[in-house]
Protein backbone atom coordinates (compact mmCIF):
# COMPACT_ATOMS: atom_id res chain seq x y z
CA UNK A 1 0.00 0.00 0.00
CA UNK A 2 1.36 3.40 -0.99
CA UNK A 3 1.79 5.66 2.02
CA UNK A 4 3.05 9.23 2.22
CA UNK A 5 3.44 10.71 5.68
CA UNK A 6 4.31 14.37 6.08
CA UNK A 7 5.85 15.93 9.16
CA UNK A 8 7.60 19.09 10.31
CA UNK A 9 4.78 21.59 10.22
CA UNK A 10 3.87 24.08 12.89
CA UNK A 11 3.51 27.72 13.84
CA UNK A 12 6.34 29.97 12.68
CA UNK A 13 6.88 33.72 12.64
CA UNK A 14 7.06 35.65 9.37
CA UNK A 15 10.56 35.65 7.92
CA UNK A 16 11.56 32.45 9.66
CA UNK A 17 12.26 29.01 8.19
CA UNK A 18 10.75 25.55 8.41
CA UNK A 19 11.58 22.20 6.85
CA UNK A 20 8.92 19.67 5.90
CA UNK A 21 9.53 15.96 5.38
CA UNK A 22 7.53 13.27 3.62
CA UNK A 23 8.32 9.63 4.33
CA UNK A 24 7.25 7.31 1.52
CA UNK A 25 6.53 3.59 1.69
CA UNK A 26 4.79 0.89 -0.30
CA UNK A 27 6.49 1.68 -3.62
CA UNK A 28 9.96 2.15 -5.09
CA UNK A 29 10.46 5.79 -4.14
CA UNK A 30 13.50 6.26 -6.36
CA UNK A 31 11.42 5.54 -9.49
CA UNK A 32 8.94 8.39 -9.08
CA UNK A 33 8.87 12.14 -9.38
CA UNK A 34 7.46 13.81 -6.30
CA UNK A 35 5.65 17.03 -5.56
CA UNK A 36 4.54 19.43 -2.87
CA UNK A 37 1.05 20.90 -3.20
CA UNK A 38 -0.58 23.23 -0.72
CA UNK A 39 -4.07 24.29 0.27
CA UNK A 40 -4.74 27.46 2.21
CA UNK A 41 -7.56 27.18 4.76
CA UNK A 42 -10.88 27.00 2.95
CA UNK A 43 -9.22 27.46 -0.42
CA UNK A 44 -8.27 25.40 -3.46
CA UNK A 45 -5.13 23.52 -4.41
CA UNK A 46 -1.86 25.14 -5.47
CA UNK A 47 1.12 23.21 -6.80
CA UNK A 48 4.33 24.32 -5.07
CA UNK A 49 7.28 22.32 -6.37
CA UNK A 50 8.32 19.14 -8.13
CA UNK A 51 11.44 17.01 -8.28
CA UNK A 52 12.27 14.20 -10.68
CA UNK A 53 13.18 10.72 -9.52
CA UNK A 54 16.93 11.36 -9.61
CA UNK A 55 16.70 15.05 -8.61
CA UNK A 56 17.85 16.06 -12.09
CA UNK A 57 14.83 18.25 -12.75
CA UNK A 58 13.36 20.63 -10.19
CA UNK A 59 10.59 23.16 -10.72
CA UNK A 60 8.91 25.73 -8.50
CA UNK A 61 5.81 27.85 -8.54
CA UNK A 62 6.61 31.52 -9.03
CA UNK A 63 5.09 32.26 -5.62
CA UNK A 64 7.82 30.29 -3.83
CA UNK A 65 10.77 30.46 -6.21
CA UNK A 66 13.90 31.64 -4.45
CA UNK A 67 12.43 30.94 -1.00
CA UNK A 68 11.60 27.23 -1.03
CA UNK A 69 13.88 24.31 -1.88
CA UNK A 70 12.63 20.83 -2.73
CA UNK A 71 14.97 17.88 -2.29
CA UNK A 72 14.90 14.15 -1.76
CA UNK A 73 16.95 11.36 -0.25
CA UNK A 74 16.21 8.15 -2.13
CA UNK A 75 18.17 6.07 0.38
CA UNK A 76 15.81 7.28 3.11
CA UNK A 77 12.65 7.27 0.96
CA UNK A 78 12.09 10.85 2.01
CA UNK A 79 11.06 14.05 0.27
CA UNK A 80 11.81 17.47 1.77
CA UNK A 81 10.69 21.05 1.45
CA UNK A 82 12.92 23.69 2.98
CA UNK A 83 10.94 26.88 3.38
CA UNK A 84 12.66 30.20 4.15
CA UNK A 85 11.51 33.82 4.39
CA UNK A 86 8.04 32.58 5.22
CA UNK A 87 5.09 34.90 4.70
CA UNK A 88 1.56 34.88 6.03
CA UNK A 89 0.34 33.84 2.58
CA UNK A 90 2.34 30.62 2.91
CA UNK A 91 -0.08 29.49 5.62
CA UNK A 92 -1.57 26.26 4.29
CA UNK A 93 -1.86 22.52 4.55
CA UNK A 94 1.09 21.11 2.64
CA UNK A 95 0.64 17.82 0.82
CA UNK A 96 3.28 15.50 -0.50
CA UNK A 97 2.08 13.84 -3.73
CA UNK A 98 3.48 11.21 -6.04
CA UNK A 99 3.69 11.81 -9.76
CA UNK A 100 1.24 9.66 -11.70
CA UNK A 101 2.81 6.79 -13.61
CA UNK A 102 1.22 7.87 -16.89
CA UNK A 103 2.62 11.38 -16.68
CA UNK A 104 3.71 12.82 -20.01
CA UNK A 105 6.42 15.45 -20.22
CA UNK A 106 7.54 17.58 -17.32
CA UNK A 107 4.16 18.37 -15.82
CA UNK A 108 2.50 15.71 -13.75
CA UNK A 109 -0.77 14.59 -12.35
CA UNK A 110 -0.77 13.17 -8.84
CA UNK A 111 -1.87 9.64 -8.05
CA UNK A 112 -1.22 9.42 -4.31
CA UNK A 113 -1.31 12.13 -1.66
CA UNK A 114 -0.28 12.25 1.95
CA UNK A 115 -2.62 13.45 4.66
CA UNK A 116 -0.93 16.84 4.76
CA UNK A 117 0.93 18.89 7.35
CA UNK A 118 -0.18 22.32 8.51
CA UNK A 119 2.11 25.33 8.32
CA UNK A 120 0.93 28.51 10.00
CA UNK A 121 2.91 31.71 9.51
CA UNK A 122 1.93 34.29 12.08
CA UNK A 123 3.48 36.60 14.63
CA UNK B 1 -0.53 29.90 -16.66
CA UNK B 2 -3.53 27.86 -17.83
CA UNK B 3 -6.64 28.88 -15.91
CA UNK B 4 -9.24 26.22 -15.17
CA UNK B 5 -12.78 27.36 -14.43
CA UNK B 6 -15.33 25.28 -12.52
CA UNK B 7 -18.76 26.14 -11.18
CA UNK B 8 -18.51 26.58 -7.39
CA UNK B 9 -21.34 24.21 -6.51
CA UNK B 10 -23.76 21.67 -7.90
CA UNK B 11 -26.87 20.33 -6.17
CA UNK B 12 -27.95 16.81 -7.03
CA UNK B 13 -30.34 14.16 -5.72
CA UNK B 14 -29.14 10.75 -4.63
CA UNK B 15 -29.42 8.23 -7.43
CA UNK B 16 -29.32 10.90 -10.12
CA UNK B 17 -26.56 11.88 -12.53
CA UNK B 18 -24.11 14.66 -11.63
CA UNK B 19 -22.18 16.43 -14.37
CA UNK B 20 -19.27 18.61 -13.29
CA UNK B 21 -17.59 20.76 -15.88
CA UNK B 22 -14.15 22.29 -16.22
CA UNK B 23 -13.12 24.80 -18.87
CA UNK B 24 -9.50 25.61 -19.65
CA UNK B 25 -8.25 28.99 -20.84
CA UNK B 26 -6.39 27.19 -23.66
CA UNK B 27 -6.25 23.69 -25.04
CA UNK B 28 -4.80 21.05 -22.71
CA UNK B 29 -4.70 18.36 -25.39
CA UNK B 30 -1.63 17.09 -27.22
CA UNK B 31 -2.38 14.87 -30.19
CA UNK B 32 -4.78 12.22 -28.85
CA UNK B 33 -3.84 12.88 -25.22
CA UNK B 34 -6.11 15.04 -23.14
CA UNK B 35 -4.08 16.19 -20.16
CA UNK B 36 -6.90 16.88 -17.75
CA UNK B 37 -7.33 15.02 -14.48
CA UNK B 38 -9.96 14.91 -11.74
CA UNK B 39 -9.73 14.63 -7.96
CA UNK B 40 -12.21 14.17 -5.14
CA UNK B 41 -11.66 15.79 -1.78
CA UNK B 42 -13.85 15.09 1.23
CA UNK B 43 -13.76 17.42 4.28
CA UNK B 44 -10.67 16.84 6.38
CA UNK B 45 -9.14 14.44 3.86
CA UNK B 46 -6.49 14.65 1.19
CA UNK B 47 -7.47 14.75 -2.48
CA UNK B 48 -7.92 11.42 -4.24
CA UNK B 49 -7.26 10.84 -7.93
CA UNK B 50 -10.42 9.77 -9.77
CA UNK B 51 -9.69 10.19 -13.47
CA UNK B 52 -6.43 10.74 -15.31
CA UNK B 53 -6.00 11.96 -18.88
CA UNK B 54 -9.63 12.96 -19.14
CA UNK B 55 -11.22 9.52 -19.31
CA UNK B 56 -9.09 6.91 -17.55
CA UNK B 57 -10.40 5.59 -14.26
CA UNK B 58 -7.80 5.55 -11.50
CA UNK B 59 -7.13 2.39 -9.55
CA UNK B 60 -9.91 1.40 -7.17
CA UNK B 61 -12.36 4.06 -8.36
CA UNK B 62 -15.95 2.85 -8.92
CA UNK B 63 -17.26 2.70 -12.47
CA UNK B 64 -20.02 5.21 -11.67
CA UNK B 65 -17.32 7.85 -12.17
CA UNK B 66 -16.42 8.73 -15.75
CA UNK B 67 -14.69 11.53 -17.56
CA UNK B 68 -14.85 12.99 -21.05
CA UNK B 69 -13.77 15.97 -23.09
CA UNK B 70 -10.99 17.37 -25.18
CA UNK B 71 -9.37 20.67 -26.01
CA UNK B 72 -10.72 23.16 -23.50
CA UNK B 73 -13.93 21.53 -22.23
CA UNK B 74 -14.03 18.58 -19.88
CA UNK B 75 -16.66 16.82 -17.84
CA UNK B 76 -16.69 14.54 -14.82
CA UNK B 77 -19.86 12.47 -14.54
CA UNK B 78 -21.07 10.58 -11.50
CA UNK B 79 -23.96 8.24 -12.22
CA UNK B 80 -25.68 7.39 -10.02
CA UNK B 81 -24.69 9.72 -7.21
CA UNK B 82 -24.32 8.05 -3.84
CA UNK B 83 -24.17 9.66 -0.40
CA UNK B 84 -20.44 8.88 -0.21
CA UNK B 85 -19.83 11.07 -3.27
CA UNK B 86 -20.65 14.31 -1.48
CA UNK B 87 -17.33 16.14 -1.72
CA UNK B 88 -15.48 18.83 -3.61
CA UNK B 89 -14.16 17.93 -7.06
CA UNK B 90 -11.13 19.52 -8.68
CA UNK B 91 -9.85 19.39 -12.22
CA UNK B 92 -6.12 19.78 -12.93
CA UNK B 93 -4.17 20.21 -16.16
CA UNK B 94 -0.72 18.88 -16.94
CA UNK B 95 -0.43 20.31 -20.47
CA UNK B 96 1.91 23.08 -19.34
CA UNK B 97 3.98 23.98 -16.35
CA UNK B 98 2.94 24.98 -13.80
CA UNK B 99 0.27 22.37 -13.24
CA UNK B 100 -2.88 24.22 -12.27
CA UNK B 101 -6.13 23.30 -10.57
CA UNK B 102 -9.66 24.51 -10.99
CA UNK B 103 -11.29 26.25 -8.07
CA UNK B 104 -13.32 23.16 -7.20
CA UNK B 105 -16.98 22.22 -7.47
CA UNK B 106 -18.74 21.34 -4.24
CA UNK B 107 -21.28 18.60 -4.82
CA UNK B 108 -24.28 19.08 -2.55
CA UNK B 109 -27.50 17.18 -1.96
CA UNK B 110 -30.67 18.68 -3.33
Of B52, B56, B96, the CB nearest to A107: B96
Confidence of residue A107 (pLDDT cuts 50, 70, 90): confident
**Beta strand spans in chain B (E):** 4-5, 9-12, 18-24, 29-30, 33-34, 36-41, 48-52, 56-57, 65-70, 73-78, 88-93, 100-101, 105-109
For residue A107, list chain B residues with Cβ-Cβ distance below 8 A.
35, 93-99
Q: Do A45 and B47 touch (CB under 8 A)?
A: yes
d(CA A58, CA A78): 16
Q: What is the pLDDT of residue A105?
A: 77
Q: What is the pLDDT of residues B26-72, one digit of tens each?
A: 999 998 999 999 999 999 999 999 999 999 999 999 999 999 999 99
- pLDDT at res. A94: 98
Out of A106, A109, A113, name the one closest to residue B52 (CB): A109
Q: Say if the Cβ atoms of A116 and B37 lie within 8 Å.
A: no
- pLDDT band for position A103 (50/70/90)? confident
Contact A44 B104 (CB under 8 A): yes
pLDDT band at A106 (very low <50, low <70, confident <90, very high): confident
Q: Nearest residue of A to residue B50 by CA position? A: A111
Amino acid sequence: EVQLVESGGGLVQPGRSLKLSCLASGFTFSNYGMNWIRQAPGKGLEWVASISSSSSYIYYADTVKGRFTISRDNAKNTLYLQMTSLRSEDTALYYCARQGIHTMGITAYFDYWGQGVMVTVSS
Amino acid sequence: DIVLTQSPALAVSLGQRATISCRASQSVSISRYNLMHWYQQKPGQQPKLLIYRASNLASGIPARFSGSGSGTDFTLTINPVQADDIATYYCQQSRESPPTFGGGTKLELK
